[in-house]
Amino acid sequence: MSSTDKSTSTSTDRCADWIAVDWGTSRMRAWAMTDDGITLASTSSDKGMGSLAPHQFEAALLDAISPWLNPGRTTPVVACGMVGARQGWVEAAYRAVPCAPAGELMSVAVADSRIAVYLCPGLKQQTPADVMRGEETQVAGLLAAHPGFEGVVCLPGTHSKWVRVHEGQLTAFQTFMTGELYALLATQSVLRHSVAAQGWDDAAFAGAIATALQNPADVSGRLFSLRAEALLADLAPQTARARLSGYVIGLELAAARAYWDGQPVAIIGATQLGLHYSQGLQQLGAQSDIHDGEALTLKGLHAAYQQMTGD
């Protein structure tokens, strides 16, 4: 993604029946949709929740979607993600698991009569304490695409989530700060001198996964070794990158063993990262399928839209 305001945009000759929005902390993405779930156009901006005060959300939204609006009618907008957080536009209270992934939408008061805005609520778990905002919509999309899915969903990312699905309900989940930890170590810590921004080493990644699974505590001591090996033995920066990634993903897989052990795993994220999780799981004898995240977000938002309109 570029850092320009609107980084991608496609136009459409007809107005949207409804508009789907994935509004995260750092970015907002929107799609002009038909009632039957066809995408007519899409756009993306860097006006994420984290950069907006509550009174700025409506203008940021209109700035992105106004070309798709019909002045003569009110177009529903269904949004998921951090937009519904306490620090977002309006707080959409968490729903408690166990529950279905999609719940009643939160209506937001807006000034412009061309739009009606609805936010997807996030999910919470009291013990162990945990929360999610946005991932529940992707799980709803997975269930819409694969009715009757039973098993475990893994959503790798800044804050990776593992979710248990049983009889159409999310029954438990756990969040790992793996992506954020990786980014902090690779770009802010002393390891930034030794870890490449690109490149990969499959054997180094697999070795680090094995270390983390066999002796998770060792990871804490292996991190500085990446720096020391760079100083003493010219460790290749792309090898250091793969090893660091393997250590933090391996720690997550070690802690999430109760989720993936003996269960089919659906990984949401058809990205390099999703592939690395899949490789790590395969190394541990677990099978996984990879699903495209954007497609499932759209399916989940479409399911929420249909539920709201009673379709």
Smaller CB distance to a copy of itself: residue 63 or 130?
Answer: 130
| Number of residues located near a copy of itself, criterion CB under 8 A | 48
Closest CA to 121 of 80, 154, 176, 61: 80
Q: Which residues contact 44 (CB under 8 A, 6 or more apart)?
A: 1, 6, 7, 8, 9, 27, 28, 29, 30
Nearest residue (CB) to a copy of itself, 211 versus 278 = 211
What's the CA gap between 260 and 153, in Å, rounded? 9
Closest CA to 114 of 153, 82, 170, 74: 74
Residue 239 binding a copy of itself, by CB under 8 A: no
Q: Which residues pair with residue 154 across a beta bridge?
A: 162, 267
- Tell me the C-alpha to C-alpha distance, in Å, between residue 292 and each of 115, 118, 245: 29, 24, 21
113 to 132: interface string for a copy of itself, x by CB under 8 A = -----------xxx-xxxx-
Nearer to a copy of itself, 76 or 246 (CB): 246
Q: Is the dihedral of CA 203, 205, 210, 216 positive or negative?
A: positive
Question: Shortest distance, CB of residue 235 to a copy of itself, whole angstroms?
Answer: 8
Q: Concatenated DSSP letters for 235-271?
A: --HHHHHHHHHHHHHHHHHHHTHHHHTTS-EEEE--S
- Residues 186-215 close enough to bind a copy of itself by CB under 8 A: 188-191, 212
Q: Which is nearer to a copy of itself, 155 or 212 (CB)?
A: 212
Q: What are phi and psi of 6, to 5 degrees?
A: -105, 115
Does residue 255 belong to the site contacting a copy of itself (CB under 8 A)? yes
Q: Provide the minimum distance between the beta carbon of 185 and a copy of itself in the complex, in angstroms, as a whole number.
A: 7
For residue 223, state whether it binds a copy of itself (rule: CB under 8 A).
yes
Q: Which of 92, 117, 185, 296 binds a copy of itself (CB under 8 A)?
A: 185
Task: Kindly state the tokens that stand for 64.
Answer: 């992105």
* Residue 53 binding a copy of itself, by CB under 8 A: no
Q: Does 232 bind a copy of itself (CB under 8 A)?
A: yes
Q: Which residues bind a copy of itself (CB under 8 A)?
A: 86, 94, 124-126, 128-131, 159, 174-178, 180-181, 184-185, 188-191, 212, 216-225, 227-229, 231-233, 235, 248, 251-252, 254-257
